[in-house]
């Protein structure tokens, strides 16, 4: 059922779902894991109308991680005023609970996420890349090339079509042709 020759182009996890995008011979397969269910959708290369790339930072993500790290920082600041034991306890709490948010906030604020989106006629696929910016670019180029190739093959004009020159009307005698060069 699953194409054994497909290659993983990208994967992304969010609290809501996990998405994997595969490259197959005829299109991109999007596998979305959600609530212990897997949904498969496909974007055929022949159907692709638009491929985009952009960098986003995610306002909600930055706000939430920023608020959490700031909250734990405040807690640390408050505990630090309670004496030496407070400093230690506050630091432990911050490292255990606040630091992951701070790291998440800073990495997102510095690097952002590169998003490649493929819009077909009937379906779309989204690929996100956290650190591998060059790879995101490559994937963007690769998808464009695959789409171009597939659409050229699928919609190439039939071979028996007559060449354009023969369709041009003959030059009337009244037209003065430039004298042939000597």
Which residues contribute to the site for other proteins (CB under 8 A)?
A: 1-2, 4, 30, 32-33, 36-42, 44, 46-54, 56, 115, 117, 119, 121-124, 126, 140, 144, 147-148, 151, 154-155
The tokens for 60 are: 């909600």
- Could you tell me the smallest distance in angstroms from the CB atom of residue 168 to other proteins? 25
How crowded is the C-beta side of 47, counted as CA atoms within 13 Å?
A: 14
- Could you tell me the smallest distance in angstroms from the CB atom of residue 67 to other proteins? 23
130 vs 148, which CB is nearer to other proteins? 148
- Could you tell me the smallest distance in angstroms from the CB atom of residue 54 to other proteins? 4
Nearest by Cα to 133 from 155, 150, 111: 111
77 vs 141, which CB is nearer to other proteins? 141
- Could you tell me the smallest distance in angstroms from the CB atom of residue 40 to other proteins? 5
Rounded to 5°, angle at Cα 57 from 94 and 76: 15
Nearest by Cα to 118 from 126, 129, 106: 126
Cβ atoms < 10 Å from Cβ of 160: 5
């Amino acid at each position: 059922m699953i194409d054994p020759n497909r290659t993983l182009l990208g994967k992304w996890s969010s609290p809501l779902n996990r998405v994997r995008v595969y490259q197959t011979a005829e299109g991109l397969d999007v596998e979305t894991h959600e609530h212990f269910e897997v949904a498969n959708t496909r974007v055929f290369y022949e159907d692709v109308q638009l491929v985009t790339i952009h960098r986003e930072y995610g306002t909600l993500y930055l706000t939430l991680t920023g608020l959490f790290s700031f909250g734990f920082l405040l807690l640390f600041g408050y505990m630090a005023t309670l004496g030496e034991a407070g400093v230690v306890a506050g630091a432990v709490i911050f490292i255990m609970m606040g630091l992951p948010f701070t790291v998440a906030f800073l990495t997102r604020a510095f690097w952002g996420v590169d998003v490649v989106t493929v819009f077909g006629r009937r379906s779309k696929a989204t690929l996100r890349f956290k650190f591998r910016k060059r790879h995101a670019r490559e994937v963007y180029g690769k998808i464009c090339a695959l789409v171009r190739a597939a659409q050229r093959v699928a919609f190439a004009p039939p071979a028996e079509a007559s060449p354009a020159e023969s369709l041009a009307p003959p030059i009337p005698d009244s037209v003065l042709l430039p004298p042939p060069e000597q």
